Structure 1
Amino acid sequence: MEMRQINYFMEVAKREHMTEAAEALHVAQSSVSRQIANLESELGVDLFIRDGRRVKLTPIGKMFLMRMIKTTNMMEEAKREVKEYLNPESGTVRIAFPISMAAHTLPSIIYAFRMRYPEAKFQMSNALYYDLINGVVHGDFNLAMIAPMPLEEQETRISGTALFTEKIIALVPVNHPIANRTSIMLEELKDDPFVVLPDGFVFRDKVVDACRVAGFSPKIAFEGKDIDALKGLVSAGLGVALMPEMTLVDNTPQSTVMVPIGNSNLARTVGVIYPTHRKILPTEELFYDFLLETYEK
């Protein structure tokens, strides 16, 4: 196998179209078709089901693609590792995070890190909870901020450190009866309509579970695709929401009020994870140590 064949294969798999892949690669379509055919001949299997120039991966093709993604990630990491060992303070940190940390937590820590290491660069992406874990495992990125921290006995493919615990608070419309209270118990919201994140979000499960522990099932009136959408729904007076405290730092919308909640179970642990089966790169190790140093203080 040649790297050119692998690159062509991955581009075709991504686009599911020979001509579109050729255009993206800036080569002739016949060259792409020939290299894919040579690769299939060498492997002794069909990687694609063909329908004219449109193609779909076969089951063995899907498995081969997953292996090649891992392989190319490792090769790119190897090149970066050699470069960063020469000068780790100017390397790149690949990190992912949940959208709830996009407005305050991650920008603040990156700003502080670059004050110390101004030449350091970042490649950032956001993802859902289980995609953060899988992305670290499969090499899409080496570090991820995450909340809550996965239990070690349930997830052996990653390691990490809890950085801090944050409170979960209520966000209510400004004219809500509890808006002027200094704190409430969660069960006081049992008759209110709730606005929540969609199914598949771990924080939605956290909200529902917390309400059940408090003795009621939340009346879900609306779903918002992200935290900002929930803020907008509350601001419009369409319900109340539970929020991680960090999402409201310097960003509480008009017509809403934050109210602390006294229930002791309403908190989540925020941490950083990395893969157990490979070493993170030098610049990323600098950033990881910086996280531990910062939050320890």
Structure 2
Amino acid sequence: MELRQIQYFMEAAKLEHVTEASYALHVSQSAVSRQIFKLEAELGVDLFIHEGRRVKLTPVGRMFLGHMEQLTKVIEKAKQEIEEYLDPERGTVCIGFPSSLAAQMIPTVVSAFRDRYPSVNFQLKHGSYRELIDSVSKGDLNLALMGPVPTSEGQIRSETLFQENIVALLPSGHPLSGRSSLHLSELSGDSFVLFPEGFVLRDIVVSSCKQIGFEPKVTFEGDDLDAIKGLVSAGLGITLLPEIALSESLPPSIVALPLREPSVTREVGVIVPANRELPPTEKLFYDFLKPFSSVFGHRFDPEPVVES
């Protein structure tokens, strides 16, 4: 079995047409047909049902394709790692991130890293909190930025980079919008706009409210940060969001206020595999992140309370 045969087989399987596969591969149609025939003869099974130059995978062909796709990923990963060992500053960093870190943290750290290592490429993978943990555990990713940082996942290792405040977002016409800071209990009578159940940011908000004796009344849900901010802007409720998820300047229809007594925070950090080493280029990025955390200080620290 040759890599060329596997490549021709996979292209024909994807396009379901031998001639179109030959065009994509820049070889003759007869070359594709000949290599597929040799592959089938070696395996002793028919991988395709042939309908002229059109082809469809047989059941065993579909099974074989799945294995070959996995094999191709392993080969590409091996090639990438070898290239990175030869020159880590020309490799690729594949990093996962949740939506709450997309607006500011990802662009900032990627830009700063590229300033130092301009030849490094990036593949950015957006995912939910659970999806990112699973991707690192299974080996689909080696790095993911997270908030909060998971602490009880056996297949991953976590490192906290910084702690950030979670702040209240109120419509500008809200009775408390002119305050410099808020007690969380002062929002107990408000309608909340939160992420759906299962989202970690919702869990943080609900848990913080319950700790001081009330359960937030959720009237709207959304899995998109901009949608949630838009609902607040329209006066349909209030929300709590991490400060790093906010843009540098909020629209005048929204007011962001720090919370005190209790303050609500989350830790932001990076997760990596616990049982395998990072490729050289991703190790370079991982080491770069550690001292970089000082860039993201608290922007909404509450003012000290002076007791009368």
Q: Do they superpose with TM above 0.5?
A: yes
- Counterpart in the other structure of 2:100: 100
| Aligned residue type for 2:281 | T
- Residues 287, 123 of structure 1: CA spacing in aligned structure 2 closer, same or farther, 3 A cutoff? same
Contact 1:98 1:145 in 2 (8 A): yes
Q: Which has the larger radius of gyration?
A: 2
Q: C-alpha separation between the residues in 2 aligned to 1:225 and 1:148? A: 17
Q: C-alpha separation between the residues in 2 aligned to 1:158 and 1:132? A: 11
Task: Give the SS at the match of 1:252.
Answer: coil
- Counterpart in the other structure of 1:76: 76
CA deviation after TM superposition for structure 1 residue 214, in Å: 2.3
Q: Deviations over 1:8-49 (max 9, x none)?
A: 787799x7x9469x7699488xx79x969x67x9499x999x
Q: Percent identity?
A: 44
Contact 2:194 2:218 in 1 (8 A): yes
- Counterpart in the other structure of 2:228: 230
Is 2:216 aligned against 1:208?
no
Q: C-alpha separation between the residues in 2 aligned to 1:250 and 1:56? A: 55
The correspondence for 1:158, drawn from 153, 156, 159, is 156
- Counterpart in the other structure of 1:250: 248
Aligned-residue Cα RMSD (Å) equals: 3.7
Task: Give the SS at the match of 2:95.
Answer: strand
Q: C-alpha separation between the residues in 2 aligned to 1:171 and 1:236? A: 12
Contact 2:184 2:262 in 1 (8 A): no
Give 1:59-138 correspondences, 5 Å limit: 61=63, 65=66, 71-138=71-138
| Aligned residue type for 2:264 | L
Q: C-alpha separation between the residues in 2 aligned to 1:24 and 1:254? A: 58
Task: Give the SS at the match of 1:115.
Answer: helix
TM-score (norm 1): 0.80
Q: C-alpha separation between the residues in 2 aligned to 1:285 and 1:111? A: 17
The correspondence for 1:276, drawn from 274, 286, 301, is 274
Give 1:258-273 correspondences, 5 Å limit: 258-264=256-262, 266-273=264-271
- Unaligned 5+ segments in structure 1 are none
- Unaligned 5+ segments in structure 2 are 49-54, 296-308
Q: C-alpha separation between the residues in 2 aligned to 1:7 and 1:121? A: 25
CA deviation after TM superposition for structure 1 residue 131, in Å: 0.9
Q: C-alpha separation between the residues in 1 aligned to 2:73 and 2:137? A: 12
Q: Deviations over 1:240-266 (max 9, x none)?
A: 011001011404233000011114461
Q: C-alpha separation between the residues in 1 aligned to 2:44 and 2:265? A: 52
TM-score (norm 2): 0.77
